[in-house]
Amino acid sequence: MSWLRRVATVALVSLLALAALWLALRLAGLDATRALIALWDGSFGSGYALTSSTLVRATPLILTGLAVAIAFRAGVWNIGAEGQLLAGAATAAAVGLFATPAFGALTVVVALAVGALAGALWAWIAAYLRNRFGVLEVISTIMLNFVALYAVGYLVRGPLQEPTHIYPQSEPLPALAQLPRLVEGSRLHWGFVVAVVAAPVVWWVLRYTAAGFRVRAVGQNPSAARVAGKIDVQRTTMGVFLVSGALAGLAGAIELTGVTFALYENVSPGYGYTAIAVALLAGLDPLGVLATGLLFGALEAGALSMQREAAVPAVVVNVVEALLVLLILAVARWRGGSAMLARLAGSGSGASGDDSTRAGGEGAIGRGKAPGAPPASGTHAEAAG
């Protein structure tokens, strides 16, 4: 599918989802038109809404969306961006609180680097469990999300708690540990630039480098990549996990140093989970993630104003996001769609590569047979396909 066609598809699906929202609100007896106007006002309606709400919200969604996209491209089902983001946020907070005197003006940079490293480490656990013991990463990353959440809960009541020990949160970071504003007088910070630059970088690496080729090959058919391409599948998988975790960790570090300035339990309203929808809507294309990240950032920013102005609960936006994903699956199914969307929807075109990709991710359970051995699950797919 050409660029144009994909954009048209996403636009069509978004309109459908918004129409469904309007209808549902009407049926619920709410002022649906006013709600949609509030949604617009709160997202793109003014310069302030755009810079201080939409773009600020989009930043972590773009970075975690990239994390999910690169993982899924390699058949690595990393559902753990949320935990990796929290790991990044917590370590960035620790750096800002304790290491600012040591690093001075460089503190922000160090905090972001350490945050990315922490995200990668958190993802490494799942990668190690998958490669060494054949533990399905879908399960392990979700478990690690909960561990990260409780770890943050412990930190903000223990080592990182503010000095009065009343509130479960850390002290605000010192100014040297905060990301500078991008636009004076708004909440937009330099982290947005990082996200905008990261997308084409990931796109370029995936498309034009040998490492990117290995990632795509492993994602499309692990057995073929190993046999015909002499690619070390485990090593590639590990690399993808680390990069994916680093991107999510960076998102957390940026959120902390650029937006919240303090660590607390609800520092992420589920960015890591929304990221999955962001990545899917983009067809797992890093440049597409830039666009869908903005779209979802706008939706979430607008939802808050919808709640303020029209008394429509902000959680409704989750329904819209879910509808977007389901509709895109349905559209891809019925129209053939791009190879990637078709692969996601599991429709006929390119069916042979299709099934083994999934097996690459899913076969992780079956790999228990010989720890350390390369995945044998491709054979199941060939039999089943």
Residue 35 binds to other proteins (criterion: CB under 8 A): no
Locate tokens 């001075």: which residue? Answer: 104
Residue 97, classified by CB atoms within 10 Å of its CB into exposed (0-12), middle (13-18) or buried (19+), is buried
3-state secondary structure of 181: strand
Out of 38, 90, 117, 280, the residue judged to bind other proteins by CB under 8 A: 280
Residue 228 binds to other proteins (criterion: CB under 8 A): no
Site string for other proteins, 332-351 (x = CB under 8 A): -x----------xxxx----
Out of 318, 335, 336, 350, the residue judged to bind other proteins by CB under 8 A: 318
- Residue 264 carries which side chain, given as an amino acid letter? Y
How far CA 134 is from CA of 14, 59, 128, 217, 239, in Å, comes to: 38, 34, 9, 21, 17
Helix, strand, coil percentages in the chain from 3-state DSSP, rounded to 5? 75, 0, 25
Number of residues that bind other proteins (CB under 8 A): 66
Q: Are 249 and 87 in contact (CB under 8 A)?
A: yes
Query: Least CB distance from residue 282 to other proteins, whole Å?
Result: 13
Residue among 79 and 97 whose Cβ is closer to other proteins: 79
Residue 231 binds to other proteins (criterion: CB under 8 A): no
Residue 19 binds to other proteins (criterion: CB under 8 A): no
CA distance 215 to 125: 20
Residue 216 binds to other proteins (criterion: CB under 8 A): no
Residue among 28 and 201 whose Cβ is closer to other proteins: 28
Residue 4 binds to other proteins (criterion: CB under 8 A): no
Q: Are 293 and 198 in contact (CB under 8 A)?
A: no
Residue among 47 and 153 whose Cβ is closer to other proteins: 153
Out of 276, 289, 291, 298, the residue judged to bind other proteins by CB under 8 A: 276
Q: Tell me the H-state helices in 28-103.
A: 32-43, 47-48, 55-73, 81-98, 100-103
How far CA 351 is from CA of 64, 266, 357, 366, in Å, comes to: 29, 42, 10, 22
Out of 119, 134, 219, 293, the residue judged to bind other proteins by CB under 8 A: 134
Site of interaction with other proteins (CB under 8 A): 28, 77, 79, 125, 129, 132-136, 138-140, 142-144, 146-147, 150-151, 153-154, 157-158, 273-274, 276-277, 280, 312-313, 315-323, 325-326, 329-330, 333, 344-347, 355, 358-359, 361-363, 365-369, 371, 380-381, 383-385
